[in-house]
Amino acid sequence: MARKRQAAGGPLVWALALVVLALAGSWAWARFGGLGAAPRFSKSARVIRVQILNGSGETGIGGRVASFLRDGGFQVVDVRNADRSDYFASFVVARRSDLSTAREVAHYLGGPPLVRQAWDSDLADVSVIIGSDRSRLQIEP
């Protein structure tokens, strides 16, 4: 009789193992985004509005930075050329007195310098100026 209990318990153990495996697979799929890389998202609870100004002279780099930031959960509100096209360095401008949002954008882009220049506009919380050192920005996932 002891043998029948073992035989009857075998399929139950296998069914339980399959359920655990399915749950682990489901967790991994949700956590890591399936077959591709998981998108990085803004850690902030609120939406960070970002303005992108291309001062590098390279056509299309503003759009690539905007796409990368959108993939990261940031709200890009404006993409255009800067007042000039000969900026040497890329940098992030904090447009609010609280620097945490600008730090988050700078960190997401790989750490360009941060400048504080508060203003009273509803357009953006942060501006990104793209300079000729644009290759230092980490805009690839």
CA proximity to 111, closest of 93, 72, 141, 138: 138
Between 53 and 134, the higher pLDDT residue:
53
Task: Give tens-digit pLDDT for 59-91.
Answer: 999 999 999 999 999 999 999 999 999 999 999
Between 51 and 30, the higher pLDDT residue:
51
> Tokens 């310098």, residue?
113
Task: Give tens-digit pLDDT for 99-117.
Answer: 899 999 999 998 888 888 8
Q: In what order do the strands lie in the sheet with 49-54?
A: 75-81, 49-54, 126-130, 91-94, 114-116
